[in-house]
Structure 1
Amino acid sequence: MNKYLRIFYKLLLLLLIIPSTALSHHSRAEFNQRLAPVELEGILTKVYWRNPHTEFDLLVVNADGSEVTWKVEAWGGPTTFSPQGVERDMFVVGERIKFLGWVSSRQERFFGSTNALLESGLETVLHFTADPVWSDNYVGGTEKAIRFGDIIPDTEEQNLGIFRNWVYAGTGQQTRDWPYTAETQEIRLQFDPLYSDVDNCRAPGMPVPMNPPLDNEFIEIDDNTIQLNAGYFSTTRYIHLNVPDNQTPPEPSPLGYSVGHWEGNTLHIETTRINYPYFDVRMAPQSKNVRVLETYTLSEDQSRLDYKYTVIDHITFTRPATLTRVYLAIDEPYKTYGCDDQV
């Protein structure tokens, strides 16, 4: 048996042993958004209210009278929907519903949706950067994702500093500059969710948990340790303060080793010793020498937190990559965003 045939059989075996639940979360690449979106209408038969993508079973009647079931996947899940007013009880099994989106290029009767029109006439926007298309009576979307209008407590009176849960300020409050090398761009173009940690519900390493605009919660463990909870895949990091110069660092790990210090109202963090091969969910490669420099700057009235990271890795980028984001001290409990099976 030649080596190519052996490789083929190994790949075939891999496809056979991967459980179907591992592919319940999908890459957006299978939906060709360069094409105009289409409508898909039918009777809602089941709702899978879960992260990272809520799914629906839809009974559709074909032109010849035959019935088929489509799987419809929303662009987001409960964690992103709830702050925008999109709730589980709006989707009533047995009622007619119309979705807007794209047919999958990979799977039969699979549909990615950004908008849904309910039988009641209410439109639900299922993507936090999308807008309503059918109705002025709607919830969700770009406008509802801006949180500056939310009620913010008297943060000066509370005097919690950074040690609380922080909520993303919403659409438009993030910048990103990821100057991939030509080689990295080519690798990302070949991305296949079959082999992706995130699409197969495996928690990623740094800096992937910091890429999505989700909750950040800070907990003071002691004078030398800060616990940082990032909502993506319920990630827990530890920031080590007052580290002696002669201290032996730990072995490399997926989340790396984070050392921090304060300069005024700004927490500076440097993370090294990252043993994780990818920079992002599309499996852009990163080296073991990658460095992640982060700053969290607290406003004078303690109501706002400005975040910035700089990722330095010549394998991935032509120059240092940056991301900035604004968080607000809205009194909401810390929310996670990973894989779960709520129905």
Structure 2
Amino acid sequence: MKNLILALGLSLVLVTSVSAHHNWAAAYDVNGDIEIEGVVSEIVWRNPHVIMYFTVDQGTPNEKIYSTESNSVAALARMDVTQDLVAVGTKVRVAGYPSRTKDDDIFMNHLLLQDEQREIVFLRTAEPRWPEESTRIGSADYAHGLNAQEDFSERPTSIFSVWTTIFDGEGSHRAMRFPSDVYNIDYAEQRGTGNCVSKDVWGQMGSPYPMQIVDNNDGTITVHIEEHDTIRTVHMNIDHDDPGTVKNNLGYSTGRFVGDTLLMTTTFEGSNSPIQIHESFTLSNDHNHLNYSQVLVNPESDELPTVNAKWWEFQPNSYLQPYDCIDHPQFDGQL
């Protein structure tokens, strides 16, 4: 592995923003609006997007089935929107963005439980659609960082905690950038299939969902990102000599502390790639943020390293949950 000395003052490489695995804004008309009434006929409550089917004019010659997708389970759980709120056979009213290609497909933003007079708001930026006839279910306070820990004594004293991306927070949400094609890796093993294939680990660090750093007290640290159940093992205080045993996009990582800052190096010998990632994690002075930097290097390219940075925030009662992604044909436009 070639050694590389990273000089201070590297110019930032301008690259395109990281996009989601499934570009729903391209599949649906976000300036359009469609509303239907019917009954729930099927529910698939899984990441990367909740899927529901609704039957309109059931039992009549005009009967029609609509497919919908919406926010992720990972996001909805933090909005207090859970699967037990709705069941097959429930009478509902649905509103959202119409498909650009089909007349029976919707990106669902609102669902009115007609018999209960309650409205589920699926999109964190949306306001209730039927406020005069229902009460709202779903809050975006967590996503927008409105549950902050005001008591300094209750904040973390180290990087070892659960940390949350703040949506629309400058430098936190959508802060990470894609590098150029010189950083493409043909991994020996994939993590996930179809729409559940996980991102390159440098992109995974920009996930909008929580992450956690854990000291395993056995010479290793775990960096756990909820999205795609990404669990990175960091071997502490040893020379970085990649044995080539990690053949997927997690790579092989070593780390050490310089003061209170965790420094990590990750390589990909298991996929015969020269790519290196150099990362740092530092607790902010107010103990409320985890500051992160990332330098992506290809020693075999003349291109400048790609430099990224972001931060996470501490919020009380934060947690990680299994991502449990399902590769459903709805996401491929097959239904």
Same-fold status (TM-score > 0.5) = yes
* Counterpart-to-counterpart distance in 2, 1:311 and 1:127: 33
Amino acid at match of 2:322: T
Give distance in 1, aligned partners of 2:146 and 2:214: 24
The equivalent of 1:296 in structure 2 is 281
Length-normalised TM-score, structure 2: 0.70
Counterpart in the other structure of 1:337: 323
Task: Give the SS at the match of 1:89.
Answer: helix
Question: Normalising by the residue count of structure 1, what TM-score does the alignment of the two structures yield?
Answer: 0.69
Is it true that 1:162 corresponds to 2:159 in the alignment?
yes
SS for the counterpart of 1:80 is helix
Partner of residue 307 from structure 1, selected from 292, 311, 324: 292
Q: Residues 305 and 196 from structure 1, CA distance in 2 versus in 1: closer, same or farther, beyond 3 angstroms?
A: closer
Q: Aligned partners of 1:272, 1:111: CA distance in 2, in Å? A: 42
For residues 111 and 241 of structure 1, the distance between their equivalents in structure 2, rounded to whole angstroms, comes to: 48
User: How far off is 1:42 after superposition?
Assistant: 2.2
1:250 corresponds to: 244
Residues 47 and 72, structure 2, Cα contact 8 Å, conserved in 1: yes
Matched-pair contact (CA < 8 Å) for 2:297–2:306: yes
Q: CA deviation at 1:196?
A: 11
Secondary structure in structure 2 of the residue aligned to 1:176: coil
Q: Which of 226, 241, 245 is the equivalent residue of 1:231?
A: 226
Q: Are residues 238 and 43 of structure 1, via their aligned partners in 2, closer, same or farther at CA, if it must alter by over 3 Å?
A: same
Q: Provide the secondary structure at the position in 1 that maps to 2:147.
A: coil
SS of the aligned residue for 2:77 comes to helix
The one-letter amino acid paired with 2:46 is R
Q: Using the TM superposition, name which of 116-125 and 233-242 deviates more.
A: 116-125
Gaps of 5+ in 1: 1-24, 188-194, 277-286
2:261 to 255, 261, 266: 266
Given that residues 176 and 203 in structure 2 are in contact (C-alpha distance below 8 angstroms), is that contact kept between their aligned partners in structure 1? no
Could you say which structure has the higher helix fraction? 1
SS, match of residue 333 in structure 1: coil
Q: Contact between 1:215 and 1:336, CA under 8 Å: does it hold in 2?
A: no
Cα distance change, pair 121–328 in 1 and its aligned pair in 2 (3 A): same
Q: How far off is 1:133 after superposition?
A: 5.3
Report the CA distance shift for 1:265/1:329 in structure 2 as closer, same or farther (over 3 A): farther
Structure 1 residues 243 and 144, CA gap change in structure 2 (3 angstroms):
closer
Question: What SS does the corresponding residue of 1:84 show, helix, strand or coil?
Answer: coil
2:72 to 70, 73, 76: 76
Number of equivalences? 290
Aligned to 2:311: 325
Judged with a 3 Å threshold, the aligned counterparts in structure 2 of structure 1 residues 100 and 309 are, in CA distance, closer, same or farther, namely same
Q: 1:196 and 1:31 mapped to 2: Cα distance?
A: 25
Kept after mapping to 2: 8 A contact 1:256/1:272: yes
> CA offset at residue 32 of structure 1?
3.5
1:257-277 CA distance string (max 9 Å, x none): 11222233322222221767x
Matched, 1:212 2:207: yes
**Residue 174, structure 1, aligned to residue 169, structure 2:** no
- Contact in 1 for aligned 2:278/2:294 (Cα 8 Å): yes
Task: Name 1:281's counterpart in structure 2.
Answer: none
Does structure 1 retain, via aligned residues, the 8 Å contact 2:66–2:106?
A: yes
Between 30-39 and 260-269, report the one with greater CA deviation.
30-39
Aligned AA (2:173): Q
In 2, Cα distance between equivalents of 1:132 and 1:201 = 30
Supply the RMSD in Å over aligned alpha carbons. 3.8
Equivalent of 1:112, from 86, 103, 107?
A: 107
Structure-2 change in CA distance of 1:333 and 1:175 (3 Å): closer
One-letter amino acid of the counterpart of residue 334, structure 1: L
Match of 1:138 in 2: 136
Unaligned runs of 5+ in 2: 1-20, 185-189, 328-335
The code of the aligned residue for 2:262 comes to L
Change (3 A) 1:154 1:206: same
Residues 293 and 39 (structure 1), Cα distance of their counterparts in 2 relative to 1, 3 Å cut: farther
